[in-house]
Structure 1
Amino acid sequence: MSDPIDPGVHIGHVHLRTADIDRVRGFYVDVLGFDVIAEERDVPGWGTTGDILFVSAGGYHHHLGFNTWKSKDGPPQPDGVTGLHHVAINYPTRASLADALRRLDAIDHPIRQASDHGTHEAIYVSDPDGNDLELAWDRPRAAWPRDASGRIAMTFGDLDLDDLRAAIG
């Protein structure tokens, strides 16, 4: 058995393929509120040219990157194939997750699932390219449910969206 990974390791950013930069920009920037860090057209990459978009929350170099190098005008990944299940976007407060729900409600964006996992609350949606997102708020670690041995005991209950909407304040 190898030594455990350094607990300070974290996922820095996610880079996704998109069929249409303008469409994905409309969702992540105009609806969810991310900031555009960089956006360019006809950029060389992977033996072709395509469009790129990097977005961030709060000025980080980028949390999400998008490109059309291998996917321009392409269809979404079908179910039943291997690949990315979803990208989790963690909000710092319950009120900020509620604000994300408000933004989705404003455009009648479909909610695929809303779950209370005990450790966190999550809203599952798909972006315009069919990439699945988990919009989440983590409860403080001291509030996470634990079993008799002290291990985290995640749950899979329904999230009360009306109660979450009330958290906007």
Structure 2
Amino acid sequence: METNYIIPDGARIGHVHLKVADLQRALAFYSGLLGFEITTMYGEQAAFISAGGYHHHIGLNTWHSKDMPHAPREGVGLYHTAIVYPERKDLAKIFKRLRTSGYPLTGASDHGVSEALYLDDPDGNGVELYWDRAPELWPQKADGSLEMYTRPLDLQDLLSELEI
């Protein structure tokens, strides 16, 4: 195996496919609450959803998980699916929507390079909603590497984006 291989700059994560216990409940969260558009349904067992007309960013299925319990929190598996918003104001809008609906957050952090909201979907899958600061604003260590951290996110300041 070649040891110096580096993935091409244009490579990206194309989509995430999640096993869910109840497809309609998952769609109520991802489409109804978060606003993803349904691009196609595969009967009553799977759905593909997206933002901006892409074929799908998230797949949801019950093929091996219909009516099953949440995966254990302690163990291997997906930690969370991260959804990036284009602007800070967009993150403020979804935060306000979550707060208005009473949907609980599991965390809210400033990471220096980004600001993030954390929650669990109805099946216990972690979801991160975030926006990235401009790269020139990313904090750096003396050696030039990134200085990422986890600090509490000022949610009132985030909501002030909606007043501008």
Indicate the TM-score class for this superposition, using the shorter chain for normalisation.
Answer: over 0.9
Q: Aligned pair 1:85/2:79, yes or no?
A: yes
Q: Which amino acid aligns with 1:74?
A: M
Quote how far apart the aligned CAs of 1:168 are. Answer: 2.2
Alignment partners' CA distance in 2, 1:165 and 1:66: 31
Alignment partners' CA distance in 2, 1:165 and 1:21: 32
Residue from 13, 16, 27 that aligns with 2:29 = 27
Q: Which amino acid aligns with 2:25?
A: R
Q: Aligned pair 1:144/2:138, yes or no?
A: yes
Residue from 122, 125, 129 that aligns with 2:123 = 129
| Cα distance per residue 1:26-68 (max 9 Å; x no partner) | 11111111111012325xxxxxxxx111111110000000000
Quote how far apart the aligned CAs of 1:87 are. Answer: 0.6
Query: In the alignment, what sits opposite 2:17?
Result: 15
Quote how far apart the aligned CAs of 1:100 are. Answer: 1.1
Per the normalisation by structure 1, the TM-score is 0.92
Residue from 112, 116, 130 that aligns with 2:110 = 116
Task: Give the match's secondary structure for 2:43.
Answer: strand
Structure 2's unaligned 5+ residue stretches are: none
Alignment partners' CA distance in 1, 2:32 and 2:160: 23
Quote how far apart the aligned CAs of 1:118 are. Answer: 0.1
Task: Give the match's secondary structure for 2:32.
Answer: helix
Residue from 51, 55, 67 that aligns with 2:49 = 55
Quote how far apart the aligned CAs of 1:2 are. Answer: 2.3
After TM superposition, the runs of 4+ consecutive aligned structure 1 residues lying more than 2 A away are none
Give the paired residue count: 161
Per the normalisation by structure 2, the TM-score is 0.95
Residue from 103, 106, 112 that aligns with 2:100 = 106
Q: Which amino acid aligns with 2:88?
A: R
Quote how far apart the aligned CAs of 1:81 are. Answer: 1.0
Structural mapping, 1:62-81, within 5 Å: 62-81=56-75
Alignment partners' CA distance in 1, 2:124 and 2:162: 28
Task: Give the match's secondary structure for 1:137.
Answer: strand
Quote how far apart the aligned CAs of 1:108 are. Answer: 0.6
Q: Which amino acid aligns with 2:78?
A: L
Task: Give the match's secondary structure for 1:133.
Answer: strand
Quote how far apart the aligned CAs of 1:84 are. Answer: 0.4
Q: Which amino acid aligns with 2:151?
A: G
